[in-house]
Amino acid sequence: MSQASNPLSPPHPIGAQYQHTQHALPSYLQADNLGPWGNYLQQVDRVIPHLGSLARWAETLKRPKRVLIVDVPIHMDDGTIAHFEGYRVQHNVSRGPGKGGVRFHQNVTLSEVMALSAWMSVKNAAVNVPYGGAKGGIRVDPKLLTRGELERMTRRYTSEIGIIIGPNKDIPAPDVNTNEQTMAWMMDTYSMNTGSTATGVVTGKPVDLGGSLGRREATGRGVFTVGVEAAKHIGLEISGARIIVQGFGNVGGVAGKLFAEAGAWVVAVQDHGGTIYREAGLNVPALLRHVEETGSVSGFVDAEKISDDSFWDVECDILIPAALEEQITAANAGRIKARMVIEGANGPTTPAADDILAERNVLVLPDVIANAGGVTVSYFEWVQDFSSFFWDEEEINLRLVKIMKEAFAVIWNVAQSRKVSLRTATFIVACQRILRTRELRGLYP
Ligand SMILES: NC(=O)c1ccc[n+]([C@@H]2O[C@H](COP(=O)([O-])OP(=O)(O)OC[C@H]3O[C@@H](n4cnc5c(N)ncnc54)[C@H](O)[C@@H]3O)[C@@H](O)[C@H]2O)c1
């Protein structure tokens, strides 16, 4: 492993007399099992040579500012008591309050939440919204809970992390398996605990409760916007392009719909229930209705069912991973037929897979810019909540598209001039912004 890609290597020399007191990793992580945090560390190592004098501060990117682990006990409907493990991680708050979603999933780990919080720091700086990065999660399969149990778990979790969240401290939002209803319960719980209605404590709320028009579609719209911009650079025509999508929820469903409306053919879709394929393109509006009614793409009549593994072999121009981390690995990156991968999900591509795709000339639009549309409209929601003045959807979409296009253009130019991947280019732009504020603020006390 080269020095640059070793997540355990110190990023820059430190005073020799202090070296014995420095540990490359926090004690709560295992070096041989770093999970998604290890991928993030490798991505940081790739940016450090490009940071100039700011590299002196780079260690701050490798350590989350604050990690909170909470026990979430609730009464189950059958009279038993269940305990769930919850997390809230604030990776960096140099540029503003923490911002990032809350994930309910049975496989959530601290390493995953740490990585997701760090990617939020990078993403928020990449689109230049005034936030740091944070993320939360509960280790639970919410599909096994009744609505009452889900509400009690969400409320207790919110109370437990209430000591570090707040409209000016850290603002959660939806992520995998959480939605507008989850945010409404979180907002109400926080408001009850603090004694006044605090709409700005979470984003992604229902529109009736201080939510923003356009928020639900924002991430998918951002994926579509940067996809169209990048396609122009590589001479790929969207109309008639063949697209495959992994994950057909909030992000993948909306992105698939917008690409289909622009004339692309969504030929394969995979979700937790299975994989479907249609050579001549799936009927996306009908598929979205099917998912709404049944919870999965599985069983959709006007399509062929294929094995999950063969999804990676489907002939296509664009692949949109929009489910979970570590889906594109060294094991399947060589099979991908797409010319372009647009990362709707966070962390779907491992660093080793990134290198294979680069060698094969597959353009990867990284999560830290491609899925930044959601947090951009979350920022609009937060601003609207503070001013109690709400914008119409047209204005929101116009501003969203403007921010995404401008941010992507800056990143594209950095990638060209430095001859680096779009991921490293995004990290260069974002980490310089983060570390500049770190340097300007200085160390307290
Ligand atoms: N919602 C947002 O605004 C937002 C913003 C930025 C990034 N993201 C990221 O996008 C991704 C998807 O989030 P979402 O909000 O659309 O979640 P969601 O819960 O709405 O949808 C998740 C989708 O992934 C599918 N899925 C789950 N496990 C799978 C598996 N093992 N194989 C294939 N598919 C699987 C589910 O069936 C579902 O279709 C996550 O990585 C999330 O962090 C979401």
Is any ligand 1 atom within 6 A of the Cβ of residue 60?
no
**Can you say how many angstroms the Cα of residue 98 is from the centroid of all Cα atoms in its chain?**
14
Predicted TM-score (pTM) of this structure: 0.94
Give the model's pLDDT for residue 27: 86
User: What is the residue with the minimal CA distance to atom 21 of ligand 1?
Assistant: 249
The whole-angstrom separation of Cα 241 and Cα 230 is 14
How confident is the model over 419-434, as pLDDT tens digits? 999 999 999 999 999 9
**CA atoms lying within 13 Å on the CB side of residue 280:** 3
Helix (H, G, I), strand (E, B) or coil at 146: coil
Query: Is 99 one of the annotated binding-site residues?
Result: yes
Write out pLDDT tens, residues 253-288: 999 999 999 999 999 999 999 999 999 999 999 999
Tokens representing residue 277 in the block: 């394929």
Question: Quick check: 14 pLDDT over 60?
Answer: no
Going by C-alpha positions, the residue among 287, 348, 342, 277 that lies closest to residue 309 is 277
| Cα–Cα distance, 375 to 391 (Å, whole number) | 17
Rounded to whole angstroms, the Cα distance separating 223 from 219 reads: 6
DSSP state of 48: G
Separation of 188 CA from ligand 1 center, angstroms? 25
Secondary structure (DSSP) of 24-38: SS-TTS-TT--THHH
Mean pLDDT calculated for residue range 42-61: 96
Structure tokens, 372: 């930044």
Q: Could you give the domains of the chain?
A: 63-197 (3.40.50.10860), 216-369 (3.40.50.720)
Catalytic residue set: 135
Q: Would strands 340-342 and 318-321 be described as parallel, antiparallel, or unpaired?
A: parallel
DSSP element (H, E) containing 409:
helix 393-418
Of 120, 119, 101, the closest CA to residue 42 belongs to: 119
Q: Per-residue pLDDT for 1 more than 60?
A: no
Q: Are 251 and 219 in contact (CB under 8 A)?
A: yes
* 182 labelled ligand-binding: no
219 is in an annotated binding site: yes
DSSP type of residue 227: H
Please write the tens of the pLDDT for every residue from 114-167: 999 999 999 999 999 999 999 999 999 999 999 999 999 999 999 999 999 999
Residue 52 predicted with pLDDT over 60: yes
Protein residue closest via CA to atom 23 of ligand 1: 247
Q: Kindly report, residue by residue over 211-262, the tens digit of the pLDDT.
A: 999 999 999 999 999 999 999 999 999 999 999 999 999 999 999 999 999 9
Residue position matching structure tokens 């809350």: 102
Cα dihedral 368, 373, 374, 375 sign: positive
pLDDT band with cut points at 50, 70 and 90 for residue 314: very high
Atom of ligand 1 nearest to the CA of 248: 39
pLDDT (mean) for 81-110: 98
Number of other residues whose CB lies within 10 A of the CB of residue 141: 11
Mutate to test the pocket of ligand 1, among 123, 212, 250, 325 (most ligand atoms within 8 A of CB): 250
pLDDT for residue 25: 84
Q: Would you say 99 and 65 are in contact if contact means Cβ atoms under 8 Å apart?
A: no
Q: How far apart are the first and last CA of the chain?
A: 38
CA of 250 to the centre of ligand 1 (A): 7
Q: How many CB atoms lie within 10 A of CB 30?
A: 10
Whether 323 lines ligand 1, by a CB cut-off of 6 Å, is: yes
Which pLDDT score, from 0 to 100, does residue 431 have? 98
Residue 246 CB less than 6 A away from ligand 1? yes
pLDDT at 4: 43
| pLDDT for res 18 | 58
pLDDT of 403 > 70? The answer is yes
Sheet holding 98-105, edge to edge: 66-75, 81-92, 133-139, 98-105, 170-174
What is the percentage of the chain residues whose pLDDT exceeds 90? 93
Greatest CA separation found in the chain?
68
Give the per-residue pLDDT at 2.
41
How far apart CA 331 and CA 193 sit, in angstroms, is 48
247 Cβ closer than 6 Å to some ligand 1 atom = yes
The crossing angle, in degrees rounded to 10, of helices 110-126 and 422-441 is: 90
Phi, psi dihedrals of residue 417, rounded to the nearest 5°: -70, -35
**CB distance 203 to ligand 1 below 6 Å:** no
pLDDT confidence band for 16 (50 / 70 / 90): low
Q: What would the two tokens of residue 158 be? A: 């919110």
**Which residues neighbour 103 within 8 Å (Cβ) at sequence distance 6 or greater?**
113, 116, 135, 136, 137, 138, 175, 176, 177, 178
User: How far, in Å, is the centroid of ligand 1 from the Cα of 1?
Assistant: 32
Q: Pick from 203, 219, 369 the residue to mutate for probing ligand 1's pocket: most ligand atoms within 8 Å of its CB.
A: 219
What's the rounded mean pLDDT across residues 197-210?
Answer: 97
Average pLDDT over the chain, rounded to whole? 95
Provide the β-strand partners of residue 349.
328
